[in-house]
Chain A
Amino acid sequence: MKKKVLCALLVAAMAAGTLAGCTGSGATDGGKVLNIYCWNDEFQRRITDHYPGYEEVDETTGKIGDVTVKWSITPNQNGAYQENLDSALLKQDDAKADDKVDIFLIEADYALKYVDSEYTMAIEDLGITSSDISDQYTYTQDIATDSEGKLKGLTWQGCPGVLFYNRAAAKEIFGTDDPAEVQEYVKDWDTFVKTAETVKEKGYSMVSSVNDTYRVYSNNVTSKWVVDGKINIDENIMKWVEDSKKMVDAGQTGTHALWSDDWSKGFYPEGKVFCYFGPAWLVNFSMAADQEGSIGNQGGWGATEGPQGFFWGGTWICAAKGTDNASEIKDIMLKMTADEEIMKGIVVKDDDFVNNKPAMEAMAEDSSYSSKILGGQNPLSMYCAAVETLDLSNLSAYDFGCNETFQNAMKNYFDGNATLDEALDLFYKAVKEKYPELTY
């Protein structure tokens, strides 16, 4: 998510072709050092603030009992984090006990690369049962489930997304800013595209960029990117192409990248953008709510379900095979992702939407909880509903590469620099560069 801001060039690549030394042994206990690999200090702050018994020693070390916790932070830029993690994991078998990776964090975009590998331990092998984590949202587990159905990572965050609309614009266009009524205008994609015309007539863009809606379409696919080694484009993805082309040609949206200046101009009334798609963190922290004159600052956003449910973001905790701190990892996972009290603490302290149904449902019922940015609306029940319907069983390890490549290739089509066929050819070619084993 945020790491992609502005620069996100995926340079990737280092660490020469050492052969992966085969499977490591299972987990053992009693290690003196717990090594955690991550790309920023978000999880470190959560542990420091919420994990009982964690003592901070200095910025990169801590203690849990007599186990030393070592944080190894490599920024994401240019793919350096994955690069570093990959080489550490590939060396896992030969590493000294105190140097072995114990915990590493991953993001949804590339989760399956690690989940679907032998370097990640199944949760059940740590002794965590499905009843321990039954309060978590299913989608968060789908993302971290490998192709054999084994769950291999847990998260404390839920990042269900909704549609945020500009209330002033809604009043001007539809005569109402009531979420239920606005929902009627955006309830499915065909209606959404039709509404875009009306919105355009009043001088607004429907969404800032076609890349805003992409995530929603791609979260609702009915087939995987790769079927039997062949690249496969899902119907819903092609629907995105069709709808987006229509909207771009009619001037109802743009093709710029997320986080660009052009994209964020709709955070302000002068930007004349009708809606954005995103989870709670987007509207709370990334849409300039602290900035005078912005829509968020005036409480001018409304939230509604939108055409389809989706999620955006989140960080998963994985245990590395060969760890010598299995019991600590188990405890950290349980406390940080399944302990209702701690989860509530995270909501209060850090404003995360946590991965715990009872905690979030209680908050959703709470009439005293309302969002100023959303003009007093309590959106939590909407997030909860959105997340229930999400079916992410069609994720694959190729998602990260394919989604990014697809959006980039189609931009050429939308901008009129290529025909649809040319853009598709470019997509196939580019995917094959990333994954030489695929065919099309």
Chain B
Amino acid sequence: MGFKKKETKKGLNIHVRRFICYVVLILITFFCLFWFYILFINATRSHGEMTRGFTPFPSTHLLENWHNLLTESKLPIWNGLINSLIISTFTAALCTYFSTMTAYAIHAYNFKFKNAIFTFILMIMTIPSQVTALGFVQLVDTMHLDDTFIPLIVPSIAAPVTFFYMKQYMENSLPLSLIEAARIDGSGEFHTFNSIVVPLMKPAIAVQAIFSFVNSWNNYFTPALILHEREMKTLPILIAELRSADWLKFDMGQVYVMIAFSIFPVILVYLFLSKYIVQGVALGSIKE
């Protein structure tokens, strides 16, 4: 009886609630996609047109801007694309793999100073990166690692924020009994980690992989100080170079096309990785 009553009450509500959901979602979608729309609009406009201010309609200069970017700017944008891809991919991979490993060390084992180490990592998470960046570049210099990708990739192995997320995620999703079971089956510790823990952590890894990929993809300042060779430069450096062109060559049309160009790959990577998250949640709910 009571069960039925509730059921009808829910049934009455559900349409209204669903309606509200859709309205809100559509609004949010608008505010999320709007920026891509004006980026696109601006990429289709010539430099001169842009001095007129904003218009909501595309113009006709997209191909021209793209052509100018390839020929006139003389920037090695394909090189830049490949460099950015290499750096970001390795950063994302190393960062997530080793953060998971570190989190696993804290989560699954008991050893001396474990809590001290955990607190320590939590503390260092709070250090503003702007400050250590200064000493970092100096260090890279003394180690003669400038103009290599190493200082841009390897430090991501020690990423306290990613570690913290992995650790928190494990609390809910990685029962220690599972590890015990693996041990009883005779699985080595390292093997257990790679074949049981990592697959279980897939959604968390996907999330953090996206974050660190995007971060590394859009990073300008550190790469600009470490990479000087033309062939080594990443896309954000090339965008900055376009923006500091002299007045004869300065062209906002090219800048916007370049920005649009450099967003594409990261969208693709995002769509690829988000599969793990989106599907995962669908599994978590009952139907669909």
Assuming the A-B contacts A41-B74, A281-B247, are A80 and B240 also in contact, with contact meaning beta carbons closer than 8 angstroms in the complex? Answer: yes
A interface, over-half SS: loop
Are A5 and B250 neighbours in the complex by a CB distance under 8 Å?
yes
Are A291 and B221 neighbours in the complex by a CB distance under 8 Å?
no
Q: Compute how far the CA of A103 lies from the CA of B235 in the bound complex, rounded to whole angstroms.
A: 27
Are A16 and B134 neighbours in the complex by a CB distance under 8 Å?
yes
Are B53 and A60 neighbours in the complex by a CB distance under 8 Å?
no
Give the residues from 228 to 278 in chain A that come closer than 8 angstroms, CB to CB, to chain B: 261, 264-265, 267-268
Residues of B close to A11: CB separation below 8 A: 221
Q: Compute how far the CA of A290 lies from the CA of B134 in the bound complex, rounded to whole angstroms.
A: 44
**Shortest distance between the CB of A295 and any CB in chain B (Å):** 11
Q: Does A133 contact B (CB under 8 A)?
A: no
Residues of A close to B240: CB separation below 8 A: 75-78, 80
Residues of B close to A1: CB separation below 8 A: 247
- Binary per-residue interface labels of chain B (221-247) against chain A in the complex, 1 for a CB within 8 Å, 0 otherwise: 100110011100000010011011111
Q: Does A141 contact B (CB under 8 A)?
A: no
User: Chain B CB within 10 Å — which of A11, A13, A60, A80 has the most?
Assistant: A80
Which single member of A15, A80, A267 contacts B224 (CB below 8 Å)? A80
Residues of A close to B224: CB separation below 8 A: 74-75, 77-78, 80, 84
Residues of A close to B237: CB separation below 8 A: 75
Assuming the A-B contacts A75-B224, A78-B221, are A40 and B137 also in contact, with contact meaning beta carbons closer than 8 angstroms in the complex? Answer: no
**Shortest distance between the CB of B196 and any CB in chain A (Å):** 43
Q: Compute how far the CA of A328 lies from the CA of B220 in the bound complex, rounded to whole angstroms.
A: 34
Are B141 and A75 neighbours in the complex by a CB distance under 8 Å?
no
Q: Compute how far the CA of A261 lies from the CA of B141 in the bound complex, rounded to whole angstroms.
A: 41
Are A2 and B141 neighbours in the complex by a CB distance under 8 Å?
no
Are A78 and B220 neighbours in the complex by a CB distance under 8 Å?
yes
Q: Does A222 contact B (CB under 8 A)?
A: no
Q: Does B51 contact A (CB under 8 A)?
A: yes
Q: Does A369 contact B (CB under 8 A)?
A: no
> Whose C-beta in chain B lies nearest to the C-beta of A260?
B53
Residues of A close to B229: CB separation below 8 A: 60
A-B contact count (CB 8 A): 117
Assuming the A-B contacts A268-B52, A291-B49, A291-B52, are A2 and B221 also in contact, with contact meaning beta carbons closer than 8 angstroms in the complex? Answer: no
Q: Compute how far the CA of A350 lies from the CA of B51 in the bound complex, rounded to whole angstroms.
A: 23
Q: Does B27 contact A (CB under 8 A)?
A: no
> Whose C-beta in chain A lies nearest to the C-beta of B246?
A42
Q: Does A288 contact B (CB under 8 A)?
A: yes
> Whose C-beta in chain B lies nearest to the C-beta of A282?
B247
Assuming the A-B contacts A59-B230, A261-B53, are A80 and B246 also in contact, with contact meaning beta carbons closer than 8 angstroms in the complex? Answer: no
Which single member of B51, B74, B230, B246 contacts A267 (CB below 8 Å)? B51
Are A16 and B138 neighbours in the complex by a CB distance under 8 Å?
yes
Are A288 and B51 neighbours in the complex by a CB distance under 8 Å?
yes
Q: Compute how far the CA of A282 lies from the CA of B248 in the bound complex, rounded to whole angstroms.
A: 10
Q: Compute how far the CA of A351 lies from the CA of B248 in the bound complex, rounded to whole angstroms.
A: 9
Are B137 and A76 neighbours in the complex by a CB distance under 8 Å?
no
Assuming the A-B contacts A5-B243, A15-B134, A285-B247, are A265 and B230 also in contact, with contact meaning beta carbons closer than 8 angstroms in the complex? Answer: no
Which single member of A13, A77, A81 contacts B134 (CB below 8 Å)? A13
Are B53 and A75 neighbours in the complex by a CB distance under 8 Å?
no
Q: Does B135 contact A (CB under 8 A)?
A: yes
Q: Does A87 contact B (CB under 8 A)?
A: yes
- Binary per-residue interface labels of chain B (197-239) against chain A in the complex, 1 for a CB within 8 Å, 0 otherwise: 0000000000000000000000011001100111000000100
Q: Does B133 contact A (CB under 8 A)?
A: yes
> Whose C-beta in chain A lies nearest to the C-beta of B225?
A14
Q: Does B54 contact A (CB under 8 A)?
A: yes
Assuming the A-B contacts A2-B250, A78-B224, A285-B247, are A265 and B241 also in contact, with contact meaning beta carbons closer than 8 angstroms in the complex? Answer: no
**Shortest distance between the CB of B47 and any CB in chain A (Å):** 8
Are A59 and B74 neighbours in the complex by a CB distance under 8 Å?
yes
Q: Compute how far the CA of A392 lies from the CA of B135 in the bound complex, rounded to whole angstroms.
A: 38
Residues of B close to A294: CB separation below 8 A: 48, 51
**Shortest distance between the CB of A37 and any CB in chain B (Å):** 10
Q: Does B76 contact A (CB under 8 A)?
A: yes
**Shortest distance between the CB of B59 and any CB in chain A (Å):** 11
What are 17 residue pairs bridging A and B, where the CB atoms are less than 8 Å apart in the complex?
Answer: A2-B250, A3-B244, A14-B134, A14-B225, A15-B137, A18-B138, A74-B228, A76-B244, A83-B225, A264-B52, A265-B53, A282-B247, A286-B250, A288-B48, A290-B46, A291-B46, A291-B49
Q: Contacts A2-B250, A16-B135 known; list 10 others, CB within 8 Å.
A: A2-B247, A5-B250, A13-B134, A16-B138, A42-B248, A73-B230, A75-B241, A80-B224, A84-B224, A291-B48
